[in-house]
C-alpha cells in the first residue's frame, strides 16, 4: 500500500540521502518506507558507505549480534566518530548525550544500540550511548509475546498509529531532554532527543509512513543546517515538529 499524499514531501524540499545499516533486520522494508517519503537510500555494510549520508537507520535484529557485527565490520567506531559521541565501552556506561549532528533512527534493537544503559544485556555489549534512556532488552517478552497496537502519535490530531512489537525493548526511564512522541500504557515507545529518534516497535512493518516522514524531515533540517554552517546556503531549515508531521 502506498502512503497518502500527506506523507510525501513537497517538491521544494531537498531529497536527503539516508543510510540503512544492512547487517540484520528489515532493511528492505525501511528502504521502501524511506523511498515512499521522498528519500534517497543507501545500504550501509562498510564504513566508506557512511560517506555523505544525511541520516542513518539502525533496523531491528538481535542487539548483541548487531553490536558484535558492528565491531567486526569496523562500523561501530566509524559511526561513533560521525556522531561525535563517547560511545559506551560496555552496556550501561553511555553518556546519554545526543551531541552528534548526524540524525539517527533506531528501531527495536536499534533503540538498544543508542541507549545510555541496557538492562538484561551482555556485560560486554556496547551501545552508542547518545539517548538518555535506560532500556530493558526483551522488555515486552520473547517472540511468542509479540503483538500489535494502535497508538496516539504526537499531539493526537491524526489517526491512531498502527504498530508492531516483536521481542521489543522497554524504556524503563528517560532523561528530561528526551521527548516522548508515543506511549503504550504510559510507557514511552517512540522518543526523540536532539537528532536521535528511536522506537520500541517496527514502523517499517505497517503502511503508515508518519514516523519515517518525521525522520526524513529531521534529516532535511540537519542537512540544511550543515550547509549553512559551511557557508553554502542562506535559508533557514524549518524544524521537524510533531504537530505538523503527525496531524
Q: Which residues are catalytic?
A: 108, 202, 204
3-state secondary structure the chain: CCCCHHHCCCCCCCCCEEEEECCCCCHHHHHHHHHHCCCEEEEECCHHHHCCCCEEEECCCCHHHHHHHHHHCCHHHHHHHHHCCCCECCCCCCCCCCCCCCCEEEECHHHHHHEEEEECCCCCCCECCCEEEEEECCCCCCHHHCEEEEECCCCCCCCCEEEEECCCCEEEEECCCCEEEEEECCEEEEEEECCEEEECCCHHHCCCCHHHHHHHHHHHHHHHHHHHHCCCCCCCCCCCCHHHHHC
Amino acid at each position: 500500500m502506498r502512503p497518502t499524499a500527506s506523507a510525501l514531501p513537497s517538491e521544494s524540499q531537498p531529497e536527503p540521502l539516508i543510510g540503512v545499516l544492512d547487517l540484520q533486520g528489515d532493511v528492505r522494508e525501511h528502504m521502501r518506507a524511506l523511498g515512499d517519503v521522498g528519500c534517497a537510500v543507501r545500504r550501509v555494510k562498510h564504513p566508506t558507505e557512511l560517506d555523505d549520508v544525511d541520516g542513518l537507520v539502525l533496523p531491528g535484529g538481535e542487539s548483541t549480534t548487531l553490536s558484535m557485527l558492528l565491531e567486526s565490520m569496523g562500523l561501530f567506531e566509524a559511526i561513533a566518530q560521525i556522531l561525535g559521541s563517547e560511545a559506551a565501552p560496555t552496556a550501561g556506561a553511555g553518556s546519554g548525550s545526543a551531541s552528534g549532528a548526524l540524525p539517527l533512527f533506531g528501531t527495536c534493537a536499534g533503540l538498544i544500540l543508542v541507549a545510555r544503559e541496557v538492562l538484561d544485556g551482555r556485560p560486554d555489549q556496547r551501545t552508542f550511548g547518545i539517548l538518555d534512556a535506560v532500556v530493558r532488552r526483551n522488555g515486552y517478552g520473547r517472540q511468542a509475546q509479540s503483538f500489535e497496537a494502535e497508538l496516539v502519535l504526537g499531539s493526537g490530531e491524526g489517526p491512531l498509529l498502527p504498530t508492531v512489537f516483536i521481542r521489543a525493548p522497554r524504556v524503563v526511564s528517560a532523561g528530561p531532554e528526551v521527548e516522548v512522541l508515543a506511549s503504550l500504557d504510559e510507557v514511552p515507545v517512540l522518543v526523540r532527543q536532539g537528532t536521535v529518534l528511536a522506537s520500541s516497535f517496527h514502523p517499517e512493518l505497517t503502511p503508515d509512513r508518519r514516523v519515517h516522514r518525521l525522520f526524513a524531515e529531521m534529516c532535511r533540517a540537519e542537512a540544511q543546517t550543515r550547509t549553512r554552517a559551511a557557508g553554502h546556503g542562506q535559508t533557514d531549515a524549518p524544524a521537524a515538529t510533531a504537530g505538523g508531521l503527525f496531524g
